[in-house]
A and B are shown apart, each in its own frame.
Chain A
Amino acid sequence: MTKPLRPALLSGILLAVLGSLCPFLWFVLTSFKSQIQVEAIPPTWWPDGSVGFYASALIEHRLLHYIRNSVIVAGATTVIALVVATPTAYALARLRMAGKAWILGGLLCVAMFPHIVIAGPVWQILERLGGLNTHWGLVLPYVSLTLPLAVWILTTFFQELPFELEEAARIDGCTGWQALYRILLPLAAPGLFTTAILTFIYAWNEFFFALLILTDPEHQTLPVGIALFQGEFTMPWGEIAATSVIATLPLIIIVLLFQRGIISGLSAGAVKG
């Protein structure tokens, strides 16, 4: 049912949408300008539609290379975090165990740690393991950083599934593992998917650990590349804008497609706690 929009609501919607999108739209426009337009004072609003900055980002600034690194790191983090978090969440949601509340609470506390407090020792661990300037060296701490949220969201999803299904399976002699993989996992697919999306976004966007662990441009991810963008004489704003648009594009697509899942996933993590 839709009512005609009240003026107050309409202006609220417009403010929220324009405020959210306009600043980034300016960056999108910038990415399609020519160098002369970017350096015009006062600035020009409308681009001439040149794709020169995309070309130079791809060729001179090796954009594909950064994209590849980001895909590897974010992809591996998502897969490993899900594989590790799923049994944990199942056990916390469904099995009779002592100390479950403590483990969940403890995970939430760990998620609140300031990153700087673990950064130094994590760096030293990775140095000893030979993990500095490697993809896996970044994936390991990322898995640890994303696990608390993943476990929380999956636990709430598992708790909402009906107990009867599983009871029947257990009476028929299924073990906990079998009940998890044969019965609950297919039912929890939407929850797994939401968790995967949130984990992927986190790993795709993370900057602090990536900056510390990947000092060699060969392995750096997109956020590090974007933050450390340097021109020879002036800031290459056009290339920065083009790279930023490309780094953001997958996220915009994800948000447009899975807005519903993201909202329910984020609020599940927060409200039930």
Chain B
Amino acid sequence: MRENDAMTPSTRDHATGWLMIFPALTFVAVFSLYPAMDSFLLSLYSEFPGSERSFIGFGNYAELFRDPVAHQALIVTLGFVLLSTTLELLLGTGIALVIHERFKGRGWTRAAVLIPWAIPTVVAAQMWRFLLNDQYGAVNAILFGDQVDAYVPWLADPWMAFGAIVLADVWKTSSFAGLLILAGLQVIPDETYDAARIDGATAWQRFWHITFPLLKPALLTALLFRTIDAFRVFDLVFVMTQGGPGDATQVIQFYGYKTLFTEGRVGYGTTISVTVFVALAIFSLFYVRTVGSKLLQREPA
């Protein structure tokens, strides 16, 4: 007890603080940090179902380097990330501009826009799969009506199937991007626009010269979040295409899943996942370093 009395409030704070943080750190350490490190170790071994585990150093990485399926998966993933994040930022900006305005029924509009975000991805995937169905789908019915012969089996065509995954993702997550951008719009004071309005600037000029520059931090945040998330796309592919037709929609996370859990090739599967992890980490660090530090300089608050 005497020891305790001798402690200054701040050292006591320190002890209480660590005690308060301890359970959360334990969870994250056991179920995120340790698994990530363990994956890295596993990637240095060769392990098949029914075979002994043997250390092969960076052998798996050498194989990955030569694996054409992995290259294809990487290209598909990058294409998906680029296309979906671009569209989501554009649509998200539009959504944010709309739900930022004051009008009667704004609460309902915001709720409606949030619904795709709230829907389970698996449900969204089944929904788009059915909408794009070659016989019973609404998309064919809208495009071709009674001309049944013209109906397109969208998910059977490599490019169309890729487009379908992008479409489903854009539908599902544009509103999330919109919310992040909305947060950026809300910190721009209304007075900023007054002078421009008096000078007779058009709505577009006001957006381009005032809103857009001030919105950049929010846009860049949304870009980072969406990029990282798009790299992890899995549910849509699993439900809509199973990576097909051929390997046209096989994104890297799905290839990793198949290698690791369906084929049981633990060493090679973790090598794929660790490579994605490292690439994302480098991208994020680079992004935060370059973009993030510029933002901080501009915005001292």
Contacts and interface: CB of A to CB of B under 8 A. Distances in A.
Interface of A: 1-3, 5, 8-9, 12-13, 15-17, 19-21, 23-24, 26-27, 30, 38-43, 45, 84-85, 87-88, 90-92, 95-98, 103, 107, 109-110, 112-122, 124-125, 140-141, 143-145, 147-148, 151, 170, 175-177, 201, 204-205, 207-208, 211-212, 222-224, 226-227, 229, 237, 240-241, 244, 247-248, 251-252, 254-256, 259-260, 262-263, 266-267, 270-271, 273
A252 B112 CA distance: 9
Contacts of B10: 96
Contacts of A30: 130
B184 A84 contact: no
16 contacts: A9-B98, A13-B109, A24-B119, A85-B24, A87-B20, A110-B33, A117-B273, A118-B32, A120-B270, A144-B27, A144-B32, A151-B24, A170-B9, A223-B120, A244-B127, A266-B179
Nearest to B279: A114
Contact of A23 (B110, B131, B136): B131
Contacts of A88: 20-21, 23-25
B110 A248 contact: no
Contacts of B146: 42
Given A88-B21, A95-B13, A237-B130, A271 B28 contact: no
B171 to A, nearest CB: 6
Nearest to A201: B118
Contact of B111 (A87, A241, A256): A256
Interface string B253-265: 1001100110000
Contacts of B64: none
Contact of B109 (A16, A113, A212, A251): A16
B128 A23 contact: yes
B232 to A, nearest CB: 5
B165 interface: no
A145 B13 CA distance: 27
Contacts of A117: 35-36, 39, 270, 273-274, 276-277
Contacts of A270: 180, 183, 221-222, 225
Interface in B98-137: 98-99, 101-105, 107, 109-116, 118-123, 125-128, 130-131, 133, 135-137
Contacts of B16: 91, 95, 175-177
Interface residues of B, number: 106
B164 interface: no
A267 B31 contact: no
Nearest to B239: A227
A170 B270 CA distance: 50
Contacts of B110: 259, 263
Given A20-B175, A21-B112, A125-B35, A116 B256 contact: yes
B32 A120 contact: no
A202 to B, nearest CB: 10
Contacts of A42: 140-141, 144-146, 148
B14 interface: yes
Interface hub of B107, B131, B218 (most chain A Cβ within 10 A): B131
